Amino acid sequence: MHRACADRAASPRDSRTGLPATLRAGVAPPLHTLSPALRGAMIFPGMISRRLVVKRLASGLGMGWLGYEGVGEFVLGRKERELAMGFHNDAPSQPDAFSRPAAYGEPAGRLVRCTLCPHACTLGEGDRGLCRVRAVKGGRLLTLGYGNLCSMAMDPIEKKPLYHFLPRTPILSVAMGGCNLRCLNCQNWEISQARPEDVKRLEALPERLVQVALQRGAPSIAFTYTEPLVTFEYVRDASQEARRKGVRTVLVTAGFVQEKPLRELCRSIDAVTLDVKAFRDSFYREVSSARLAPVLRTLEVLREEGVWIEVSFLMVPTLSDEPSEVGAFAAWVAEKLGPETPLHILRFHPAHRLTHLPPTPLHALQGARQAATGAGLRHVYVGNAPGSDGGRTRCAGCGRALVEREGFRVVADELRDGACPACGRKLSGVFS
Ligand code: SF4
């Protein structure tokens, strides 16, 4: 038997997920233990072929003989960049009306390295980054889909989820195609895994977007549904314009970004819901094609910059449904972000490539809530689970019930100017 086949056969697998059992134990399985289909879906989604990798290595060596400085990019960093080589020759043939020069790109020999997110894609002429949003044309890094919205809707702000930020207000929610993660359970994969030019063109440059929010009476705008950080330039310009006009802005994000652009965005963003996928790097690598450490760093930076943060944690059955893992993450949040940071534990519903998994059992959600509360967090919610009391906010001082929610609807609100009517303690958050 071929050695890779023998290894694959020997690797124990979870009977329900088909993923290597080591994943659950917190050990990243070697790539060759994954089936070719799964490996392709997670690691090289429609990306560069093995033939092209060989071609690039050969050309890198060739350039080295010519004294070309980019050779190190091809040879020394190859393993590190396997996740981030992007889509070869996939840039639009001509920049369109939605293309703009991108920030956070730097020369890497004759290539261009994007420094917006930790993938650090190194792209040649005509290549497109892993997120599908950034591409090199004419030697310049471009951002695609600037102002080309694929989704626009009015939502209750509780849906983001945000429970401590302008509660009971509507929020104008918008998205553009693209994402730098490859979550197997993505709910919005039709738009997150699409090229910006392939999804609906609803043109809204920053000024127009803010106008729409004002016309519809929305005090805030959410960049959501896909990954807003990869459309950095649009989000930055729109949030600056919104701030000038007195409209708040919110990011719903996975937080996989480099520190410098994040700090720049923090100057004009008011709140963030950060969707933490798991508290294990192996989960990030194998289920989301990303890494945990940069996401935790994002949370620390947001805290340092004074942006309001709420954190969500989706419990995926058999993959990230251990209450102890949620408890360990909650302890980290309590220590690094503060015990009054809201944590939303979310119920998984089958989606995308994990449709064979069941919804998260309610007892696991309740166990995780207890673990998170036991770890010191004062506001722990359970979402997507009708019938539970997971939407209740209590006063962190006297314990009085302050806000009751059913789904995304607030059904009782005892808050007085953001404070408890019984003991007067202010509830953490932004209420005006
Ligand atoms: S933002 Fe996109 S192009 Fe830039 S490094 Fe990340 S995935 Fe690559």
Cα angle at 136 between 135 and 142, to 5 degrees?
60
Q: What would the pLDDT profile of 335-359 be if each residue is shown by its tens digit?
A: 999 999 999 999 999 989 899 999 9
Q: Rounded distance, CA 175 to CA 200, Å?
A: 10
Q: How far is the CA of 40 from the centre of ligand 1 (A)?
A: 19
Confidence class for position 295, pLDDT limits 50, 70, 90:
very high
Look at residue 55 and tell me whether its pLDDT is greater than 70: no
Q: How far is the CA of 250 from the centre of ligand 1 (A)?
A: 21
Nearest CA to ligand 1 atom 6: 117
Given its phi and psi angles, is residue 73 left (phi above 0), alpha (psi -120 to 50 degrees) or beta?
Answer: alpha
Average pLDDT over residues 67-83: 39
Ligand 1 nearest-atom number relative to CA 229? 1
Look at residue 61 and tell me whether its pLDDT is greater than 80: no
Contact (CB, 8 A) for 151 and 192? no
Where are the strands (E) in 349-396, listed by range? 380-383, 393-394
Residue to probe by mutation, ligand 1, list 47, 131, 136, most atoms within 8 Å of CB: 131
Identify the pLDDT of residue 150.
Answer: 95
Confidence class for position 59, pLDDT limits 50, 70, 90:
very low
Q: How far is the CA of 200 from the centre of ligand 1 (A)?
A: 22
Contact (CB, 8 A) for 142 and 101? yes
Which residues form ligand 1's pocket by a CB distance below 6 Å?
A: 84, 114, 116-117, 119-121, 129-131, 133-134, 180, 230
Ligand 1 nearest-atom number relative to CA 86? 8
Highest mean pLDDT, choosing among 12-21, 74-83, 259-268: 259-268
Which token pair is 29?
């399985």
Nearest CA to ligand 1 atom 2: 131
Q: Rounded distance, CA 156 to CA 18, Å?
A: 37
Nearest CA to ligand 1 atom 4: 114
Q: Rounded distance, CA 134 to CA 90, Å?
A: 10
Q: How far is the CA of 269 from the centre of ligand 1 (A)?
A: 21
Ligand 1 nearest-atom number relative to CA 120? 5
CATH 3.20.20.70 fits 149-413, yes or no: yes
Ligand 1 nearest-atom number relative to CA 117? 6
Q: At what angle do helices 259-266 and 232-244 cross, to 10 degrees?
A: 20
Q: How far is the CA of 84 from the centre of ligand 1 (A)?
A: 8
Identify the pLDDT of residue 49.
Answer: 42
Identify the pLDDT of residue 217.
Answer: 98
Q: How far is the CA of 256 from the centre of ligand 1 (A)?
A: 10
Which residue intervals of the chain bear CATH 3.20.20.70?
Answer: 149-413
Phi, psi of 286 (to 5 degrees): -90, -25
Which helix (H) or strand (E) is 409 found in, with range? strand 409-413
Q: What would the pLDDT profile of 209-218 be if each residue is shown by its tens digit?
A: 999 999 999 9
What proportion of the chain, given as a percentage, has pLDDT over 70? 80
Identify the pLDDT of residue 382.
Answer: 96
Q: How far is the CA of 149 from the centre of ligand 1 (A)?
A: 19
Q: How far is the CA of 98 from the centre of ligand 1 (A)?
A: 18
Give the HSE-up count for residue 72: Cα atoms under 13 Å, Cβ half-sphere. Answer: 3
Average pLDDT, the chain: 84
Ligand 1 nearest-atom number relative to CA 132? 2
Identify the pLDDT of residue 384.
Answer: 82
Lowest-pLDDT range of 8-17, 126-135, 188-197, 371-380: 8-17
Nearest CA to ligand 1 atom 5: 120
Q: How far is the CA of 195 from the centre of ligand 1 (A)?
A: 13
- DSSP category for residue 357: S
Confidence class for position 386, pLDDT limits 50, 70, 90:
confident
